[in-house]
A and B are shown apart, each in its own frame.
Chain A
Amino acid sequence: MSLLFKNIIRFALILFIQIFVLNRIPPLHQFIVPYFYFVFILWLPFKIGRTVLLFIGFAVGMVTDMFFKTPGLHAAACVLIAYVRPFLINLLLPKEATDWGNEEPAKKTMGAVPYGTYLVILTLLHHFYLILLEWMQFGSFLYFIGKLVATSLVSLLLIMITDLFLNRKSKLR
């Protein structure tokens, strides 16, 4: 129960920051959009079932879409990373993911290199899909590549800064 409550609070906070802080920042360039909300899916505990994870991904995406006024765009990208996440964790970690209990992906629980790889791959995947869908509606190839690189760098920077500030506890007790 406490785990559920904690994650609901976290989701509300992350969404608030995305919508009312990051979205209000004056744009530096066409390519730079500070996406941060998807980090919620990356930080969910290891033990969550795959079907539940997919559903959470869809819900997170839809709620975000409500504020971006793009029904389905962010939901599609979130469902994709929610689907890939368990495979990636199994690949990066020696142990079975089910043994990890309530712990969640962090530098402490995974180690610096696996955690970094995990962040980079899922961030790139999320942005790749998101911008691909946008590119199909308008834009050029340069737009696609430029936005993918710039946006991913900004997102990774934001996640790194947050990780430095928040000392996320690996265990819930």
Chain B
Amino acid sequence: MRNVFLFLKRYSVFIFFLVLQGLALSMLFSYNRFHQTAYGMFSNEVAGNLNKRVNKVESFFTLSEQNQALRKQNAVLLSYLPSGSVIPETSFQLVADTIAVDSLKSYRQYQYFDAKIISNSVFLQQNHIVLHRGSAQGIVPNMAVVGTDGLIGTVISVSENMSVVMSLLHRQSKVIAVLKKGSGLGEVSWDGKDPRFLLLSKIPKTIVVKKGDTVVSSPYSDKFPPGLPIGYVEKIDQDQETNTYKLKVRTAVDFYAVQHAYIVKNLLQDEMDRLKSTVIKE
């Protein structure tokens, strides 16, 4: 017994070292489970508050670019206003409406929340974006995040007033995408090399792809609204081993300069999840 204590005393520093190493490594490798809890909440709020202060100064310098982007988007939105189009004259026609329910009436599937980006990185292998909007403002994990120009990423962690987004520039990010012109279901990922380019794989060679083609989010995704631009094809490579292309895609969003984002809530998400779970059970 005495020897045990002697051993412990002699190697106390080494044991302390091992304990701290173990603590750090266990945190690293059980990332998803752990960061939902205390550490994630605490660090999001603390780091987020500091980031917010610095961002206040920083955003001042990009005001004109932000203005321009918003004006451009405004112009697009204005063209959708009813006052912009003319309804054809139908008052002299007599139409008997036989349908009791208005079957053409649309209902809303996506709700957009405005959010300010307070921290962003492009140079790491796992890039995250922090938004100033959290659970208190109705954000839950797994919501889509889009910018004025296109898709940005997915919310992965939420604290009271902040939320962390896995950006498209993340080694583990995978988004289902289609080509706007010729469909063809593919997968957008990032190889960690250049923050200006993404990779689109799994597009079969039977589809004709040209440089400059738009890559948009797929209609089969339950997270992202369909048809959002992800990027534009920059370089076309034939994958020798498989029957698919390897496409280099220029990001639609300028990740270096992005300042504002919209968080997208799918209002039918619950219904879809419920339906899916009944199928999987069987």
Contact = CB atoms under 8 A, between A and B. Distances in A.
A and B co-occur in one complex: yes
Contacts of B256: 26
A27 B192 CA distance: 11
Interface of B: 12-14, 16-17, 20-21, 23-29, 31, 34-35, 39-40, 43, 46-47, 51, 54, 119, 121-126, 128, 164, 171-172, 192-195, 256
A58 B128 CA distance: 23
A23 interface: yes
Q: Report whether over half of chain A's contact residues are helix, strand or loop; otherwise say mixed.
A: helix
Contacts of A43: none
Interface of A: 20, 23, 25-27, 30, 33, 50-51, 54-55, 57-58, 61, 65-73, 75-76, 79-80, 83, 133-134, 137-139
A24 to B, nearest CB: 8
Given A76-B25, A133-B28, A138-B192, A69 B20 contact: no
Contacts of B172: 138
Nearest to B172: A138
Nearest to A49: B13
Nearest to A26: B256
A23 B192 CA distance: 16
A76 B164 contact: no
Contacts of A26: 122-123, 256
B54 A20 contact: yes
B171 A138 contact: yes
A144 to B, nearest CB: 12
Nearest to B193: A30
Contacts of A69: 43, 126, 128, 164
B21 A79 contact: yes
Find the residue from B12, B20, B31, B35 having the highest chain A CB count within 10 A: B20
Contacts of A139: 125, 192
